[in-house]
Structures are given as C-alpha cells and as structure tokens.
A and B are shown apart, each in its own frame.
Chain A
Amino acid sequence: MTVSVLIVDDSPIARKMLRKALPADWDISIQEAGDGVQAIDIYRQGGVELMFLDLTMPNIDGYGVLEVLQAEGLNCIVIVVSADVQPQARERVLAMGAIAFIPKPVNPEGLQEVLKQYGILV
C-alpha cells in the first residue's frame, strides 16, 4: 500500500538529499513543504502518514510544528531530520512525539534501519 510522506524543510537541497536517501523501491507518494506553516496546512488536509521534519525553519520551526501536531492529536508518524545534533534537541523532539531523530546529512542505511525498526518499512 502506498505510504503518504510529507518532507518538511526550508532548503530545496535538503529535500532532494532526503528524497535520494529514501529506499528506491519503496511504494510512497511524496509531498513537500518549505516551512512549518505549509507543513501544518498539508497535515490538516489529512492523509499524511509519515512526516520528515526539519527543526530550523522560518515562520514556524520544527518544534512549533510538533506543538501543533500534538495539540491536534498527532495523527501521523514524525521523524525529525536536522542538522542541530545537540543531544537536547533529540530529547526535546522525542518528548514532543517524534519517534526518531536522524542527523543531517542523512545516511540512507541509518534511515532504512529506523524505518524498519518502527515497522514503517517491511
């Protein structure tokens, strides 16, 4: 079954880097958002199953997106993908409902491991 994925990052290059790191044979449909406001808009339209979320973004940042998602019931799986690799950033997003934290630049093998670990990729 096709998995609906939303990639949220203000950098078009980071979005491309993440797309490239995703398993090539994975049955997914991908939408993209360039900031937190767009991400929340797309999330509220429904159907997003998996969100890859950057933290440092204009308008609403990744923490702000997680706050909104939590307040609205968190109806999708969130994996944070960030260059901010401080342990506190990881702890904070996991406490806010993200299931995993992946440091940039994304390692494709590490990403696949996380997806398998949580049963997202079989």
Chain B
Amino acid sequence: MSLRLNEDQTAALQELANIGMGQAGNSIARIWKEFVHLSIPKINMVESTRIPELIHGYVGDTEVSASRQAFHGGFRGEVLVIVTSNDRNGLAHLMGYEGSLDIAEREEVLLDIVNILGGACVGGIAQQVGAEIGFSAPSLIGEHLNPLEVIKPNQLAIETALSLEVRFIVENRSLSAHLVILLPNNEVKALADLLDQFLCTL
C-alpha cells in the first residue's frame, strides 16, 4: 500500500518544484544561450508498478534515454530523467557538443542533464522546506530504450513514485525531459511532514 500526499501537500510540492524548475530553466538557458519556454510542472503519485506505463504515457512509442541519481538527507530517494532519443541529440548540440558524439560524450550529456534537472528540482524543494540534501554521482540507465523497459518495478525497493512532468521547449525544437522521483514509503512520510511544516508558515 503506497502512501500519498494530500491535496495541500501536493499543491505545495508543485509550486516548490515550479520554483526549482525555473532555476533549472535559467541554468539551461545560460548553457544553450537561447530562451527556454517552461511548461507547468505536473505532479502525480503512482504505485511503482505503474512506472513503465507512466513513462510510456509521457513519451509514447519512441525510444528514450534515461539516467538516474540518488539523493539522501532530509528525505531520501532517487530521481530519474527520461529524454526522447531525438531530443537527446538536440540537447547534446545545445550543450556544446559538436559533430557526431561517441558513447562517452552521449553518456556525459545525459549525466549533465540529470545533474541539472535533478539538482534544481529536488535540491530546490529541499531548500525551500528547510531540509539538507546530498546527491550521489549520477549514472546512465541506457540509451535507445523502450519506454516500458526503462525501469523494472520488481527490481525497485520502493512502493511509490512521485512523477514530475516538465517540458523545456526551445524555439523551433521541441525538447522534452521528464522527471520521476522515486520515494520509499517512509520517505513519502518524511516529505509530507516537511511540506506540512512549510504549509504552517503560510
């Protein structure tokens, strides 16, 4: 049985994520030297068994690349960043990589992205609820993956996934990245408590 955030906690998390993603958008805009249109972040909590269909719902029938990064401290979990394969090539060029990329360079791009997006989003949320948080080194899940196979729920020791959908759109290119935050049940409770404390200050 997964724990869920209540309506107020979800609304608070959505706004705090929005602030974090605004910072991420600014970081990316500085790297890309282009104006980035940000979408409104959408938050859903789903049971971990539904993660594959959630990711498929985000991207449709297309290949994806994905990377992950664990975080620990005031609340603990893992952030996944999923980008579509074509978008990842676009992102690579925008991040200053020229010509055809070798495997190591492609991996570097995907790790840069999880660092920027995961750090801004989870780090931003933590900062605003007054929690200290640290990040482990990011790692690559893979490239050219079927979206249904990015994560195998039976290999996860978690019950709940907090999905955060946000799109970064750059002028004529439509580049999208999706974040999914994985939280064990007891960490959902820790996050809920921190959000309640934040809500009490309003």
Contact = CB atoms under 8 A, between A and B. Distances in A.
Contacts of A104: 18-19, 22
A84 B202 contact: no
A119 B17 CA distance: 33
A33 to B, nearest CB: 16
Interface-central residue, A16, A20, A85, A86, by most chain B CB under 10 Å:
A86
Given A10-B40, A20-B202, A88-B35, A56 B18 contact: yes
Contact of B22 (A58, A82, A88): A82
Interface size class of chain A, counting residues whose CB lies under 8 Å from the partner chain = 20 to 34
A120 B187 CA distance: 45
Interface of A: 10-14, 16-17, 20, 56-58, 82-86, 88-89, 103-105
Interface of B: 11-12, 14-16, 18-19, 21-23, 25-26, 29, 35-36, 38-40, 128, 199, 201-202
Given A11-B11, A104-B18, 9 more contacts: A12-B11, A13-B14, A13-B16, A83-B21, A85-B22, A86-B29, A103-B22, A104-B19, A104-B22
